[in-house]
Structure 1
Amino acid sequence: MSLVEPGSANASSQTSASRAIQRVVSPGGIEAWLVEEYAVPLIAVEFAFRGGASLDPADRAGAAKLFASLLDEGAGPYDSEAFQEKLAEHAIELHFSADRDTWRGSLKTLARHAGQAFELLRLALTEPRFDDSAVARVREQLLAGLRHEANDPDTLASRALFARAFSGHPYAQPVKGSIDTVPALDRDIFLAIKPAALTRVNLTVSVVGAIDAATLSAQLDAVFGDLPAGGQVPAVAPAAPLASGALEVIDVDVPQTSLRFAVPGFLRNDPDFMAGIVFNHILGGGAFTSRLFQEVREKRGLAYGVSTSLVPLRAAGLLVGGTATKNERAAESLAVIRAEIARLTADGPDTDELAKAKQYLIGSYPLQFDNSAKIARQLLQIALDDLGIDYIDRRRGLVEAVTLADVRRVGERLFGTSKLLVIAAGRPEGLA
């Protein structure tokens, strides 16, 4: 299976172009997608457990985030300092994180240190210490960040957007928690999270680098085999993002207003998702070529930049966008954005716009596979999205198949009946 699409500009220069993605299943039944790559003696591992911050109770928002941040703060016989010294001694990079739908981890190591790296990863997952001193220190770091963000208009607008769009749903909660919820998070909470969070049944793994299938198979059981089999994580109820055209202004004493806007979007398995990618590229996802960039920045100089993106979560989808502009030009900026959205929805793109958008989406895709860590991340996301191990081979055809009628239909689905939810953080003039 090619990791670079045939005929793309970078295809001939990519050494990984002809290498196959292998499905490796360990004797214990743990599966991983593997790309062997020996040009550089590195191994990159990406993995995820379904769950994440959407499972945080409302009064414990931030628990998933802090839990993930503590996994490499001491494990097994090593306290936090000793564990970090072991990583540094062998130039091993190990990181954990949480988002709304997953707990994630990444490991990067020289091949000659793979044994030590995999053992430290095993300890982090199976024997995290959650020492009180580490909990207090990392919790205070998170709180310090939250205090700093309390007056940051970009952060305030983004948080409020999710809070309003998903009011009453777990997605409304901030992944990092809040100044009210984080102080109560303690060791007992993390010990309670672990048995249900880190289970084999909810695990997805991708590996790229200087390791063969037989060696990886043995390491999968060595690293993950002691985790509980577990059951499927509780399903997050489907969400219906707000589409009523609400406008919320958050007063922040700054000279610029951060604007965030959204409408309901698509789940990743929606048949219109690829057409949605094309529509979004034309609207605001195409950097310097997008409609919104041309209208907001190039023609009027209202903002340095403006963009949109599709956000497919497990239980809902959004199309979100944003910009930052002077307070006195916020109302004008929002009016221009609304007008261009209406124009593209009503008329659709022209044939040249569609051709250029598809050309870019096909030609730029190989850039997401130009090193081992990027390849591993892409494979992990493809697996999490249930797109199939052959998705990379099929993607070019999916983009090429998008027609003008498809893009117009998607525009109508996105904006025909839904009205923009808008959050403005700053002191915007002319917005009530």
Structure 2
Amino acid sequence: MTPNIDRTVLNNGIVLLVTENPTADIVAAKIFLRSGSSYEKREQAGLTHLLSSVLTKGCYGLSSMEIAEQVESVGASLGVDASSDYFLLSVKTVTSDFAEILELAAKILRSPTFPETQIELERRITLQDIRSQKEHPFTVAFDQLRHTMYQDHPYAMSALGYENTVSKLTRDDLVNFHHTHFRPDNVVISIAGRITSEEAETLVNSIFGDWQNNSPELEVLNFNQITVEPRQVLTAQQTQQSIVMLGYFAPGVFSADYAALKLLATYLGNGLSSRLFVELREKRGLAYEVSAFYPTKLFPASFVVYMGTAPENTKIALEGLHTEVDLLWQSTLEVDALQAAKNKILGQYSLGKQTNGQIAQLYGWYETLGLGINFDQEFQKQISDVTVKDAIAAATQYLQQPYISLVGREEAICSAVNVRGKS
């Protein structure tokens, strides 16, 4: 059952969503900004990640330690995250402390001080993370796949950034990004818990109502068309397994084919009963791990299938992944198999709306992407309405020209690259 959600637009442009849920004495708030790493310049890759790391390390009148003490003294939680399509500040606390913690969140959001010492500390941690990722074959395989597919599009860039870009970021860069993008008409506040719509609106108005927009006009993202030129990219590493990955260009969330592709990703690679797991791991013993994913994106997304396998199995693993994806458009998908995928995705979707934090996240995310809060019901209907014909048509349109990314021992991956087409 979908809870009742009230949507209000404040005078300064903030969109407020409130879901009253009195079953637990908890209130969660998700404060979204419609700006993520897609707004970074290429020479500033990693800017939003660094900003998210430093945002809670000091604000007007409060040090990093004082912020932490205020949050921990009431047993609340407060965190910041950044993605390609949005920026997020999350809070959760008992109802009686919500006003205090939301006011703190507003100070952090509106008047961060970005202390130089904290910037340098978080920069060092980020650089360590970037270096560490180079030791993980899956991350290397996915990074090189993303770079090859997206070319000059911002989705090509690593969320963490790169050593040569992160090392050059300055406090002024953080301040300028904050000044441009952190503005009330770019904010969605989604609240769920033991609070009425009237109480929430009064509280948010008292805390955020005086926030006015003094920033320059926001840039409208308008990217060049991506040229689809499937390629094979390889990185040789002395690893215990090969990572075999296929990537297909697929549409963003506003596409009529979105639901069908979500179902196909679930059918192929979601769980122990998925097609890839049963056929390639259980029956053939090829996979240490095997899965598929199709993330929700505003702009063109990627439909990815991958496998971790023994080096000596690299060639047949690549062929096996190809075969299983090709079967989606070469043969008729069984009605029972499609229904099982529907049951799985809808069941997992319902389980993802159990807590106030999950509820606030979901509706705030939909509003931020421009889908609106009614997409909760629309998505479930879209999934239910997908037919076998729809699924096969989507597979035929999008899942025929893969990019190939391989990471592993040189001999193993080089022997596999000519399995399909030219290298």
Matched residue pairs, number? 413
The aligned residue for residue 251 of structure 1 is 236
The one-letter code sitting in structure 2 at the alignment partner of 1:425 is: V
Distance in 1, matches of 2:125 and 2:148, equals 27
SS of alignment partner, residue 97 of structure 1: strand
Shift of the 223–65 alpha-carbon distance from structure 1 to 2, 3 Å rule, reads farther
* Match of residue 202 from structure 1: 186
Correspondence 1:368 to 2:384: no
Native 8 Å contact 1:72 1:124 kept in 2: yes
Q: Kindly state the Cα deviation for residue 95 of structure 1 after the two structures are TM-superposed.
A: 0.9
Query: Given the alignment of the two structures, is residue 260 of structure 1 paired with residue 245 of structure 2, yes or no?
Result: yes
Q: Shift of residue 413 of structure 1?
A: 1.1
Is the aligned partner of 1:426 residue 2:408?
yes
Match of 2:146 in 1: 162
Shift of 1:331: 1.6
Quote the offset at 1:242 in angstroms: 5.7
Contact 1:274/1:399 (CA < 8 Å) preserved in 2? yes
CA deviation string 1:113-140 (max 9, x = no partner): 1122012101101110101111111111
Q: Which residue of 2 aligns with 1:273?
A: 258
Counterparts of 2:121 and 2:150, CA distance in 1: 32
Aligned CA RMSD, in angstroms, stands at: 1.9
TM norm structure 2: 0.92
- Give me the TM-score of the superposition, normalised by structure 1: 0.90
Q: Deviations over 1:254-308 (max 9, x none)?
A: 1112223211111111112112222222222x32222222221111111132111
d(CA) in 1 for partners of 2:99 and 2:381? 40
- The answer as to 2:27 corresponding to 1:43 is yes
> CA 1:153–1:313 in structure 2 vs 1: closer, same or farther (change >3 Å)?
same
Q: How many angstroms does 1:28 deviate by?
A: 4.4
Counterpart contact for 2:10–2:209, Cα < 8 Å: no
Report the Cα distance in structure 1 between the residues aligned to 2:291 and 2:227, rounded to whole angstroms: 20
Instruction: Tell me the amino acid that sits aligned with residue 412 of structure 1.
Output: T
User: Is 1:234 matched up with 2:219?
Assistant: yes
Structure 2 counterpart SS, 1:165:
helix
Which of 263, 285, 310 is the matching residue for 1:301?
285
Q: 1:298 to 1:233 in 2, by over 3 A?
A: farther
CA–CA separation in structure 1 for the residues paired with 2:371 and 2:48? 26
Unaligned runs of 5+ residues in structure 1 are 4-18
8 Å contact kept, 2:86–2:368:
no
The match for 2:395 is 411
Q: Cα gap change, 1:252/1:266 in structure 2, threshold over 3 Å: closer, same or farther?
A: same
Given candidates 285, 295, 308, the residue that maps to 1:311 is 295
Q: Does 1:62 align with 2:52?
A: no
Q: Distance in 1 between matches of 2:210 and 2:372?
A: 27
> Is contact 2:180–2:218 with CA below 8 Å preserved after alignment?
yes
Letter in 2 for 1:357: A
Match of 1:172 among 147, 150, 156: 156
Letter in 2 for 1:156: V
Matched, 1:386 2:370: yes
1:108 offset after TM fit, Å? 0.8
Residue of structure 2 in register with 1:283 after alignment: 268
8 Å contact from structure 2 (residues 13, 185) kept in 1: no
Please say if residues 281 and 290 of structure 1, whose CA atoms lie closer than 8 Å, have aligned partners that are also in contact: yes
> Any conservation in 1 of the 2:251–2:299 contact (CA below 8 Å)?
no
Once the two structures are TM-superposed, the CA of residue 165 in structure 1 deviates from its matched residue by: 0.8
**1:239, 1:346 → 2: CA distance?**
32
